[in-house]
Amino acid sequence: MNFIDGEILYIDKPLEWTSFNAVKRVRSAIQRRLGIKKLKVGHAGTLDPLATGVMIICTGRATKRIDELQAGVKEYVATIALGATTPSYDLETAIDARFPTGHITHQLVLETLRQFKGRIEQIPPAFSACKIDGHRAYKMARRGEEVRLKAKILVIDEIELLDFSPTAITIRVVCSKGTYIRALARDIGKALNSGGHLTSLRRTRVGTVPVSDCLTIDQAVELIETTDIELPDNFTVSCPD
């Protein structure tokens, strides 16, 4: 492997890790192996700390491909609690309102999900990395400031009901770049004349790469520590501190 010229690693991001945590762990392992203090490492497509699954990490010159890689179609499996909302649309914040669910049937959910297939408009969550006048929306939201974000056009290629109860559903979603599954949970809850928020999320595929082909963080570090390393011409390895 040649981490300077560029490698692409597919990682199964652990629960409660930020995307930055995963990048930092991989970068540190490479720096230790090569005995260097600086290396460009980035990721294609952020995952929230409460989400798991496919995350693409690029090193060296492969970071130039980040825009291309994160544009790939993504697949998720999500569980949505019905009958309650949270400000962040997931478990990061506490429930702020409750709604009835007695009217929700399997057939109603199927009919409602069909409304979300194809081109849709979606307003990103206030608790997101979107920027407003140079400020991150989630930082404004955590300070209690009003956050107004514009709707974006997205494409939902597939949306499938995997499990149903009147108080929780599990769905599989294949969608375009920029789709917030937390916001989809919010909108599905509203469309059901109830409330909804995300309780679990797993990114199961990016482009043609399924999560079954991904490395755990520990496996990625072991690969970095044990694989044969190719180095560019004139590259000097120094002894680590």
Active site residues: 48
Distance between CA atoms of residues 80 and 164, nearest Å? 10
Please say whether the beta carbons of 4 and 232 come within 8 A: yes
Quick check: helix, strand or coil at residue 47? coil
Alpha helices in 35-171 (DSSP H): 66-70, 106-114, 137-142
Length of the chain: 241
Specify burial of residue 133 (Cβ count, 10 A radius: 0-12, 13-18, 19+): exposed
Cα-based distances in Å from 177 to 4, 62, 74, 206: 28, 20, 7, 10
Distance between CA atoms of residues 57 and 72, nearest Å? 14
Query: Cβ–Cβ contacts within 10 Å for residue 38, how many?
Result: 6
Alpha helices in 98-210 (DSSP H): 106-114, 137-142, 181-191
Q: Is 6 left (phi over 0), alpha (psi -120 to 50) or beta?
A: left
Please say whether the beta carbons of 20 and 171 come within 8 A: no
What is the identity of the amino acid at 49?
P
Specify burial of residue 7 (Cβ count, 10 A radius: 0-12, 13-18, 19+): buried
